[in-house]
Amino acid sequence: MTDRIAHVRLSSVVLPLADPISDAKVLTGRQRPMTEVVFLFTEIVSAAGHEGIGFSYSKRAGGPGQFAHAREIAPGLIGEDPADIGRIWTKLTWAGASVGRSGLAVQAIAAIDVALWDLKAKRAGLPLAKLLGAYRDSVRTYNTSGGFLHTPVDEVIENARSSLAAGIGGVKLKVGQPDWRQDIARVTAVREALDPDVPLMVDANQQWDRATAMRMGRLFEPFGLVWIEEPLDAYDAEGHANLARALDTPIATGEMLSSVAEHVRLIDAGAADIVQPDAPRIGGITQFLKLAAYAEHRQLEIAPHFAMEIHLHLAAAYPIEPWVEHFDWLAPLFNERLETRGGRMYVSERPGLGITLTEQARAWTVGTAEFGRRP
């Protein structure tokens, strides 16, 4: 029986971070330390009483813009069949056609798109991974939040041990210090402090030039890294491809791209051994599934960026064994927790994404907009 979207609520939520976060972009003066993350939440209710929740996010800037764009296009949702997710995505894209099909425009749509998929899975009584067709009930996971450059190396080691004790499988370290010797020293200290079988990754956050990236890549070869992430500018497909051909260590990149088309260019150039798409950044789950199909066709691994509450389900439904990034930053926003054990993150049996907003998230809300009426 055909259902209809009856009510839409948009919320702009500002999540404060306990400590200012610094990576290589801060050390090069390109960005300031990050003190908060701004989320765009969409809550959708259908005439039959089915509900869905989705989110997008912005770091440092863009949050108010995402909220403003979503507020402009959201009225077009009322009266639509929530099952027609692909058609709705196209409708919303055309509603904002003058601002393009990437970046902020599709990130605003992403929060809506994710909510529609959450609603669809809940209506089916299935976790989203099961609705999509899961290949596994758990995914390899690694921690990033304990390895930022502002963190002293002794604390990085302690954070790594705590993550491993909590059932997380791998550890990612930020690199890109002005003095390259500090990068080598930090990675050496962590590698020597942990079991040699612990998967270790590094992330330069786009801050090396081509020559530096090649030199650093060769210096890192003896560490047996799972990957080197974003050694170059996110849009330097040729440079990344040169590294991928020259180094034994896999190259991972893609998190900063904001459309499927940009990822396809990266893949076609041979620029990534491991693709790191971010569903909220490229337009939601509908777009992520298109990219995942292409990445599978090219026999590439994926390691989705951030937003593990969404990406766990998408990674579980990807044929080639993936990774999911564990971040505890979002914990205050959701009542539920994701289970990690034995180096893996497990899909819960809760329908949909399996998340509900906390009262604290409601308290951090700085703007709302509502359309239609609740049934």
Give the active site residues.
174, 305
Q: Is 350 annotated as a binding residue?
A: no
For residue 143, the SS3 value is strand
Does 91 count as an annotated binding residue? no
Q: Any binding-site annotation on 130?
A: no
Residues making up the chain, counted from first to last: 375
Q: Is 59 marked as a binding-site residue? A: yes
Give the phi and the psi of residue 252 in degrees, each rounded to 5: -120, 135
Does the annotation place 120 within a ligand binding site?
no
Q: Would the annotation count 122 as a binding residue?
A: no
CA distance 202 to 229: 6
Distance CA 137, CA 341 (A): 12
The crossing angle, in degrees rounded to 10, of helices 85-95 and 285-297 is 110
Is 205 flagged in the annotation as binding?
A: yes
25 is in an annotated binding site: yes
Q: DSSP H helical segments within the chain, as ranges? A: 24-27, 63-73, 85-95, 104-124, 128-132, 153-165, 180-193, 210-220, 237-246, 260-268, 279-282, 285-297, 308-316, 359-363
Q: Which of these, 109, 103, 64, 108, lies nearest to 88 by C-alpha position? A: 109
CA-to-CA distance for 362 and 312, rounded, in angstroms? 24
| Residue 24 assigned as binding residue | yes
Ligand-binding annotation for 203, yes or no, is yes
43 is in an annotated binding site: no
Query: What three-state secondary structure class fits 33?
Result: coil
Known binding-site residue numbers for substrate: 23-25, 59-60, 172, 205, 325
Q: Per the annotation, where are the binding residues?
A: 23-25, 59-60, 172, 203, 205, 229, 255, 325
Q: Which residues are annotated as a binding site for Mg(2+)?
A: 203, 229, 255
